[in-house]
Structure 1
Amino acid sequence: MSQEAWGRWGADDERGALNHIGAEQVRRATALVRTGEAVSLAQPLSPRTPVPKHRAGIQHFMGRDGGDYAAGARRPGGFQFAEDTVVMPLHIGTHIDALCHAWCDDCLYNGFPGQGTRSTSGALRCGIDKMPPIVTRGVLLDLVRLHGGPLGRRASIGRGDLIQAAEAASLTIESGDAVLIRTGWQESLPPVADVSFDEEPGIDVEAALWLAEAGVAMVGADNFAIEAIPFPAGTVFPVHQRLIRDFGIPLLEGLVLQPLAAHDRGQFLFVASPLPLVGGTGSPLAPVAVV
């Protein structure tokens, strides 16, 4: 398997394609703001947030609440407060994959050894703590608008589909872009926690390579895994392998894109910052599009 981005930014690089974002890309992105409205692209998080069966859901505990005061807790000077604790997987709801999240042939992005990711230490290389804040031009490739509705549950989005969506929005994909792909999967989910993650529309490998070769900084979508599921015969997460492992491109999954699409803006200021969890394989995220 080829490793197109390995060594491009040095043998010790752990930021991958986010290196495409520099001061010029940030300035260009801020110039796109017209109305100044900030549009949230994140799912709400609660114990009802759907997760695949191999992951635990959110556990939310109150450490101090109104019940404590009703039971007689002291309130010096009349002061009262509440606080809580959340236990949850890092890959839930709207989240970003670190470059240590997926690998093959015992090698992470840039050739770092896969055995460096352990339960006792987390990821020694390419953890989410190595990912900087992301401020760049966001572009929306709206396949729902292109096809007149949400895509079929197993639809595979090819290179030609992305090109058509870009042309429909009068966009040219450029180096440093955060490309967001609207499939309609997220907005068409039933309002229940028991959601199937065994099939979804998503991009194929050729579409992924087209984005990578354009120099995008990251790829996001309104689905579970960016790529089409089920996978092509004889493959397992082939888009994850090519984008994360070979090109160092982080994936932003579980986006909410319908409100952004309603603004009819193909390009915008995109802002997101993962939690700097040392050795983490990903992070919940609350990305924002500023139009």
Structure 2
Amino acid sequence: MMFEEYDNWGHGNWGRWGADDERGTLNLLTPETVVAAARCVREGRVVSLAMPIRGATSSAAPTTVPHLRGRPLPQHFMSVDGGDYAAGARAVGAGLKMADDALVVTPHGTTTHMDALCHMWSGDELYNGHPAGRVRSYGAQRCGIDKAGPVVARGVLFDVARLRGVPHLAAHDRIGPDDLQGCLDATGVDLRPGDVAVIRTGWPLTWEEQGPDAYWSGQPGLDADGGRWLAGRDVSVVAADNAAIGGLNDRQLADEGPDDDLHLILLWRHGVHLAEMLWLEELAAARPADFLFVAAPLRIEGGTASPITPIAVL
């Protein structure tokens, strides 16, 4: 059944999976749904959909990796220490060394990540009516990213840039239901409950081809009706190669009001997790009708997001 049957008070999927639910539409990923998704594997080819994480302390990351202006970039520290191997090294007479890593990442706007249902809310309530006061500086006690678990689902690519015949959309472009249906018509696939909708705008190409200023001039993305269209078709996750699912202006902000804000429509009202800042160029070149989508957020207790490496298995 689609969400309209549960849409009491304009709250989409609230109560659909019980008063204690903290996973939203990920509840649609039943064993049967996962088995059906696995049937999409035809070649056995594995494609990463993640941006690289390049620590700002160890590379020229500010000029080489797309990110939102003003967001703190990942910090990657390394040490070389042979201490743990000292005894063994003496025993074999070899000078063994060990390298360790420390990584500090603020996922939102800086790397490929998944938003938790506690990331955004309205008033005093999180998704499903959980109290927003449970989100504190030490973590969210409700709807954190640790409640999501691994995502194994059928992925459907909405290559809107290809549909419109351009390498990438323009910063002011918005994606509505007609675009989404047009992508399905072009590939001949249908959208099923539990699918992951993967939306390609091509926007990361502007960073590579024109530089940061072009990337920061705004961003294309879903419009409110496009978000409602996807929620109404019971997708489990909406994933995109832009930074915020919806469009952004040149101040890196959304122009929509609360009723049309994509994060409120999808995360808060309908419990649809969001995956942002994917790299979709290799996937788009393969032009799959559908594929197996796999992503596992870190079990960060109470986290508002987690870095992920989404995988498409073709």
TM-score (norm 2): 0.85
* Runs of 5+ unmatched residues, structure 1: none
Q: CA contact under 8 A between 2:207 and 2:215: conserved in structure 1?
A: no
Question: Which AA in structure 2 matches 1:64?
Answer: V
Once residues 62 and 113 of structure 1 are traced to their aligned partners in structure 2, the CA distance between those partners, rounded to angstroms, is: 40
Paired with 1:195 and 1:17, the residues of 2 have a C-alpha distance of 35
**Structure whose residues are more often helix by fraction:** 2
Alpha-carbon deviation of 1:90? Answer: 2.7
Find the counterpart in structure 2 of residue 155 from structure 1: 173
**Which amino acid counterpart does residue 284 of structure 1 have in structure 2?**
P
Q: CA deviation at 1:14?
A: 0.4
| Structure 1 residues 116 and 197, CA gap change in structure 2 (3 angstroms) | farther
- Deviations 1:49-77, CA, capped at 9 Å, x for gaps: 343344311111112269x9xxx9x9433
Does structure 1 residue 229 correspond to structure 2 residue 245? no
Residues 195 and 273 of structure 1: CA distance in aligned 2, closer, same or farther (over 3 Å): farther
Bigger mean CA offset, 150-159 vs 223-232: 223-232
Would the aligned equivalents of 1:50 and 1:195 in 2 still touch at CA under 8 Å? Answer: no
Q: Spell out, residue by residue over 1:218-244, the C-alpha distance to the aligned partner (whole angstroms, 9 max, x if none).
A: 001110101012344545970100100
Task: Provide the residue aligned with 1:58 in structure 2.
Answer: 74
Distance 1:195 1:269 in 2: 33
Normalised by the length of structure 1, the TM-score is 0.92
Percent identity for Structure 1 against Structure 2:
43
Could you tell me which of 291, 296, 299 is aligned with 1:268?
Answer: 291
Residue 280 of structure 1: how far off its partner (Å): 0.5
Native 8 Å contact 2:158 2:199 kept in 1: yes
Distance, in Å, in 1 between the alignment partners of 2:261 and 2:81 is: 47
Matched, 1:181 2:199: yes
What's the counterpart of residue 227 of structure 2? 208
Preserved CA contact (<8 Å) 1:201 1:229: yes
Tell me the residue number matched to 2:5.
none
Give 1:167's aligned amino acid: D
Deviations 1:143-176 (A, max 9, x none): 1110111111110111111111111111111100
Secondary structure (helix, strand or coil) at the match of 2:219 reads coil
- In structure 1, the partner of 2:265 is 242
Q: Quote the residue 2:309 is aligned against.
A: 286
CA distance in 1, matches of 2:259, 2:215: 18
Equivalent residue, structure 2, for 1:217: 236
Structure 2 runs not aligned, ≥5 long: 1-8
Equivalenced residues, count: 286
Q: Partner letter of residue 145 of structure 1?
A: R
The answer on 1:139 being equivalent to 2:156 is yes
Question: Does structure 2 conserve the Cα–Cα contact (< 8 Å) formed by 1:61 and 1:86?
Answer: yes
Q: Which residue number corresponds to residue 107 of structure 2?
A: 90
Work out the CA distance in 2 between the residues paired with 1:100 and 1:145.
Answer: 33
| 3-state SS of 1:103 partner | coil
Q: Distance in 2 between matches of 1:4 and 1:240?
A: 13
What's the CA shift string for 1:128-154, capped at 9, x where partnerless? 111110001000011111011111111
Distance 1:194 1:87, change over 3 A: farther
Partners of 2:29 and 2:153 within 8 A in 1: yes
AA paired with 1:211? Answer: L
Q: Which whole-Å CA distance do the structure 1 matches of 2:100 and 2:257 have between them?
A: 49
User: Do the aligned residues in 2 keep the contact of 1:227 with 1:237 (CA within 8 Å)?
Assistant: no
Secondary structure of the residue aligned to 1:188 is: helix
